[in-house]
Every structure is written in C-alpha cells, then in structure tokens.
Amino acid sequence: MFTIDQVKQAHSKVKSGADFPAYVQEMKSLGVRTYEHHVSDGRIEYKGENNFSISADPKWSLVEIAAHGNVEALQYALKIHQQGQTDYMIFCRQSAEAGVNVWIVDLVRMTCTYYDKAGNEMVAEIIPVA
C-alpha cells in the first residue's frame, strides 16, 4: 500500500489545477482509490483497497466555510484554477467562500464531487485523463 510520504511527494508536483490530471494518474499508480479533502483545515483521508486508509494532518488553522453553497462561485473558482490561474491555497480559500465543506475524488470512477456543509452535492466533474 501507499504511504503519506508517497502521497505528499505526488502532491508536491501540483502547482495549479492544470496539473491535476497527471497527479490523479500518479495517485492511481500508488494504489489510492478515493480521497476526501476537508476544506476547513486541509485534512485529507486517502483510501485504498481492502479498507486501507491513511490520513494527512491538517494543513492550516480552521477556516470558516460559508453557511450556504454557491454553485456559481465554485464553478468560477474551478474554471480559473483548472486554467492554471490560481494555486492550491487560493482555490481552497475560494472553495470555502463558495460553501464547499469537502470534496471527494474517486479515482476508480474518475470523478471529483464537491459538497456543502449539509452534504448536498454542489458540482460533480469527470476527471480528464492526462
């Protein structure tokens, strides 16, 4: 199975959303099947086969998540991030402002789905193949 150090090394290569497809392929090659990114503190839980799971420590102090999801604001933040106009930290801040509580990346189905505080799906995207 994979280690947090391997995941961190793969993540260190991502500078913007434009790098995401290659990152996904590297994560798949490590054996990651899904991961959940908690926007409030940057904590991520990675899951592999046979119920294998590891968690990365929080990356920042708690940030406030908007009480209500704003799909249009999230779609705009995604668009500019995927074009390479923002870095990871800016995208996370914009996600919190748009009301994203967690996003779940499913490397089997090749989807990334964003959820608000109430657990409502805000946006679901197909991950492009690198």
pLDDT of amino acid 21: 82
CA distance 99 to 55: 23
Region 7-20: what's the mean pLDDT? 81
The domain ranges of the chain are 4-55+63-126
CA distance 90 to 52: 30
pTM (2 d.p.):
0.88
**16: nearest Cα among 103, 89, 95, 71:** 89
Tokens representing residue 52 in the block: 């294998």
Region 14-39: what's the mean pLDDT? 88
Q: What's the order of all strands across the beta sheet hosting 111-115?
A: 53-56, 44-47, 34-38, 102-106, 111-115, 121-126
Region 69-75: what's the mean pLDDT? 97
**1: nearest Cα among 41, 22, 35, 30:** 30
Pairing of β 34-38 and β 44-47: antiparallel
pLDDT of amino acid 130: 60
3 state DSSP class of 52: coil
Share of the chain above pLDDT 90, in %: 75
CATH 3.40.50.620 fits 4-55+63-126, yes or no: no
